[in-house]
Amino acid sequence: MKKIKTDEKKIVRLYQNGESALTIQKITGINYKTVYRILENNGIGRRTSSEQTINARKLGRGDYSKQKELASKNWQGRNNPRWKKIGSKRDNGHGYILIKTKSGWVEESRLIAEKILKRKLTKDETIHHINGIKNDNRLKNLFLMLRKEHKAWHTLDNLNKELKDIRPELKSNLITIS
């Protein structure tokens, strides 16, 4: 019993000196989960991951950055549950469909246009959706434009919509005036 108490003190001291639970496990042979339990029993809160990184840096270890690197590696590619196979589709967050290719996610509408044109689209080219539905990639809904044309087209379209909105008001004003 007494020995356990001494161990607990040692563990708390090691942790407060900036050692990680895993390092404490290496030093004392006490499982890191037990280390956490002991810390908790002694009212010692766990360090946040950013505090851990700062600590590891202070100690000149970088165990945590290594761990993080390892962790991110393990989550890359196929190991990542968000990994999608080639041909998978997803929304780009703005209503456009992206499709997974060998070289990454690309806009499906661009891919369709490139297939038809038998060439890559340039950076200055973009695909406009005629009916305004951004995920409607049927060929008849796609229109190849230069980016600046596309921007101008949408500016005009927005103005036109605005004009349609205020037209009834203009009408009623005219009636009042006359």
Which positions touch Zn ion (CB under 5 A)? Answer: 128
Which residue(s) pair with 89 in the sheet?
99
CB nearer to Zn ion: pick between 34 and 141 = 141
CB 129 to Zn ion: min, Å: 6
CB 146 to Zn ion: min, Å: 12
Please give the residue whose beta carbon sits closest to Zn ion in the complex: 128
Q: What is the dihedral of CA 42, 43, 49, 50, to 10 degrees?
A: -120
CB 69 to Zn ion: min, Å: 42
CB nearer to Zn ion: pick between 10 and 128 = 128
Strand intervals (E) in the chain: 89-91, 97-101, 104-107, 125-129, 142-146
**Which tokens go with 43?**
């009212």
Q: What's the CA gap between 70 and 144, in Å, rounded? A: 44
CB nearer to Zn ion: pick between 130 and 163 = 130
CB 128 to Zn ion: min, Å: 4
CB nearer to Zn ion: pick between 30 and 127 = 127
Instruction: Give 102: exposed, middle or buried? Use CB within 10 Å, 0-12, 13-18, 19+.
Output: exposed
| Residue type at position 41 | N
Which residue(s) pair with 142 in the sheet?
129
CB nearer to Zn ion: pick between 55 and 109 = 109
Residue 50: Cβ within 10 Å count = 9
CB 104 to Zn ion: min, Å: 23
